[in-house]
Amino acid sequence: MEARYNLKSPAVKRLMKEAAELKDATDHYHAQPLEDNLFEWHFTVRGPPDSDFDGGIYHGRIVLPPEYPMKPPSIILLTANGRFEVGKKICLSISGHHPETWQPSWSIRTALLAIIGFMPTKGEGAIGSLDYTPEERKSLAKKSQDYFCEACGTSMKNALLPLSSESSQDDREARELARQISFTVNPPGNSKAEGSDTTPKPKPPETQQNGDTGPQAENPDREAPPGEEAAQPAPAPSVSRSPRQRRAQQRRNPASPGLIPVQQHAVNGSNTGSTVLIVLLTLALAALIFRRIYLANDYIFDYEL
């Protein structure tokens, strides 16, 4: 199989590593890629104890995208179980239905434990979920042991190791994952997550239609309440006005506070320039007068001689 794939690909390297880690079956789960397709895996999980699925052995497919682990896999159950539909991609936060919640640090082992942890939970209309009665699920759990997968050649009777005293650790890990990873519920025409806040959000106030004669329309100059911006009047068409009309208009519509410092700065700069110019002109005039007096004294001295 290695000769068929680019071993420099991040997805291929990641899947090769996970295949080596999951090569040996445990008493709770087992998964391996197909011999001719590294991006399609078949898995087997044991039903959680002390539940309607106790004693069941369930088989399914995991289809991985070429961008794995940056994008999530799709999970499909092949064994009737009464919790997930058969042959349909189930909707989990770690499945392809919700790439926005997928984390690249999650793995195929994470998906297997999440499936075990979510089996006893309610479907609540999620895509690919079922809500069979406890009696039906227990009956399907017994029948699941006779399932045989022709695609991978796995029989449920010997797919997993017998239960041992260390099984409780995997059970606790599966339940913990079920609490951490939300089961996404997407009934037709609705989209929400299990455990999410379903309190309806208040609707924003509707805008008043044209011709409204309420207080806001009667008194447009009133001060707007905090958090509400006052409606800006529409700009008037350009009309030539006399200086007196322009001054009156400026008194009615004073400049915004943000422009006042800029205007003051411009006025101060203009006054400073005028002052410097006056000082320079004064100094030049004084130098000219001094030169005239000096030349006049030299002329009088030469005349006396």
Torsion over CA: 101, 106, 107, 113 (sign): negative
Angle between helices 108-118 and 10-21 (to 10 degrees): 60
Q: Which residues contact 54 (CB under 8 A, 6 or more apart)?
A: 47, 48, 138, 141
Classify the C-alpha dihedral 89-75-127-168 as positive or negative: positive
b (16+ CB within 10 A) / e for 241-264: eeeeeeeeeeeeeeeeeeeeeeee
Cα first-last separation, the chain? 124
Write out the E strands in 57-183. 57-63, 74-77, 148-149, 154-155
**Residue numbers annotated as active site:** 91
To 5 degrees, how large is the angle CA 78–CA 167–CA 116?
30
3-state SS class at 39: strand
CA distances from 227 to 137, 195, 199, 204, 223 (A): 56, 33, 24, 13, 12
Bridge-based pairing state of the strands 74-77 and 57-63: antiparallel
